[in-house]
Structure 1
Amino acid sequence: MRIIVARQPDGRYLLRPPASLSAEYSHTDLDPDAAAELVGIWERRYAPRWVFPSVERDYPPLVARDVRVGRCIDLALTEYLLLAHAGRHDEPRGLGAAYARARGLPPPADPGTEHREPDEEPTLFELHRSGLPPGVDPRDAAETVLADQERRLREQTHPERLRLLIAAESASALAATEMSADGLPWCADAHRDLLTTLLGPRPPAGQRPPKLAELAERITAAFNDPTVNPDHPGSIVRALRRDGVDVPSTRAHVLRHVDHPAIAPLLEYKELARLHSAHGWAWLDQWVRDGRFRPVYVVGGVVSGRWASRGGAALQIPKLLRGCVRADPGWTLVVADAAQLEPRVLAALSGDRRLAEVSADADLYTSLAHTLFGRTPIEDDRARAKIAMLSAMYGGTSGEAAPLLSLLRRR
């Protein structure tokens, strides 16, 4: 059983059940509270597969009213997967664009995306614009798009593979919305204690924490130049060159091989400054509320198809701060590590037997480092091997990536 559920520009919901339910529930233009109540009843009674034009847009108000559904089809994500499979991943995928394509018309741009950066949140009114022609019922549009997507799926060489991927992505969309609503349990006191231990007391806005100020003084003293700014790489490069040390950048892996009295405090400064800017007190104020870290998770948020997040760098919580993630009383955290799943998938898909052999080890990147550099890996070798592999998967060519990728190809 499939039930279409679409959110209108005014926040009301339009539901379309199958004919067997239409007689029992004739009124299906509902405010969010009534819609949530009805969706909850139907979910418990029939466990249908819900059809959302966009789970990211249409599901959050239901979740906010304690409604959870088990299965769905996300038309926007399905459209994205079908377009990407056809090599057209840059085309708009919203309901209006998908409806236009289904009718053989030029698709309009997805509402609100023309002048917005990829990681910038849409505004309220952008979320509510569907891109549909005036007078078109979103339920009719959803039915048209669903039928067109089914037709395109049947035309594929292996439709069952794409169906499985669509089901997985749609389930991921539900999970991402629920994760965004529930947040991640986060101990703000432990976070503050860690910041104070490493950086000193919280400074006034615009000033360095005490530990960073102390390290900055040590750095300028080592250069004998009070104008050196450790926050500006160009200033450090110029200061090193004045002392007879020529470096291409101030990346940590470059500086570790430099013999100069400023390097030790500079490396410590860089690490702590990154913590302060990316996950310091301002981050805590902005993203942690009521004992929860509250980002927004986005399925298929980057061109590779991986998840992304809006707010707080939720997919890159540093190891130093992971101890702040603490289970609520009566609950237990379960940690699952995909163990470098993507490069292992790449090894299988590519048919590269040598890469498959490397992938058999528990730590793929250490094994790859041994193969790339022909020696027992040292500290930097694993990181460089990881850069090579990620560049192979995601098209990286800047900085170290190009020569490492070339070496990977030769091996």
Structure 2
Amino acid sequence: MSIRTRIAIVGAGPAGLLLGRILDTHGIDYVIVERKSLEYTLGRIRAGILEQGSVELLERLGLGERLRREGLEHRGIYLQFAGERHHIDFEKLIGRTVTVYGQQEVVKDLSRAHQAAGTAIYYEAEDVALDGIESERPRVTFRCRGEDVLIEADYVVGTDGFHGVCRPSIPDLEVYDREYPFAWLGVLASVRPSTDELIYALHADGFAMHSMRSMEVSRLYLQVPPDENIDDWPDDRIWEALHRRLGVPGWTLDEGEITDKSITPMRSFVASTMQHGRLFLAGDAAHIVPPTGAKGLNSAIADVAMLGEAIAAGYRGNPEPMSSYSRRALSRQWKTQYFSRWMTAMLHRDDRGDSSEYDYLAQLGQLRYVVESEFAQCSLAEQYTGLPYGL
């Protein structure tokens, strides 16, 4: 089967689905190809914090009804260290907020919108490959339900994640990456959150975080070694560590049934370019950040917001936004990389080497500076709630 379309999108995660909705608003036709099943994409538990700009974009695209009803708007976060907990009030500092709303919920809303619109999405596509990305008619080939499919497009957009086929299709691509000497042990617990806003805690034993998915489900994290085995962490041990690292006088951490637990290594990764020929990259296909600053999903949203408008401008006769997409997206991304690395370094213990105790005491000094300086808090608030897209 052969298909002709303007835009071929490889990857039906939040970036690919959102790009499709943006293209819909401009009347630009597209086809989406996804290696996984619809059920798999809906079931992935990922990021849960939306920047204000992400919320505003989803609302403009008509995807805000359930988000407004079920999302939890937060004015700020708590920074905790040395047995003290300090509130950083984003709304008071810069007039902006963030919203707790899981990535899987964003994908559900997008999937329902695409189903209602009758979007052509090929799930469970096998042997996906790109060809001719330097020509005027790039092609995507794959096999779906026993049939060979060829998509001929004006442009191809790779939103197929870190392990996808699109980034490797760019010749001579350089990558910049960093592995961190720790990982996150994350759990979902069926218990009402013990906090009204996220708690980021630096403890002598390592980092801990109290987040949430709803008013009935808590999401909690512990810093662990990157080679840790999840089987070595029974529920009792997890709760004991959370109580110790998150505890402050006069506050109680409520326990509940742990329904999911996993260990996620932490890394930073950036590709040297996000476009080549008629191929564009967005989201995890082009960059990854450690989760400390809640930037993964939001970075993908920023990418496709820029790219969607650039594609629309190109079809209106203005090619400049498309030709400058990689430069603009990477400019924002490197600022995001800096913030994520800064948050990660400030809040995690690195016990390697002879200077670990010095480093820990310096981290306490850094946190003390942040909570005592309005200028430092404004910088944190500006970056955490989201930088402009540079449209």
User: TM over 0.5: same fold?
Assistant: no
1 or 2, which has the higher helix percentage? 1
1 or 2, which has the higher strand percentage? 2
Structure with more relative contact order (C-alpha pairs < 8 Å, separation 6 or more): 2
TM-score range, shorter chain: under 0.3
Task: Give me the TM-score of the superposition, normalised by structure 1.
Answer: 0.24
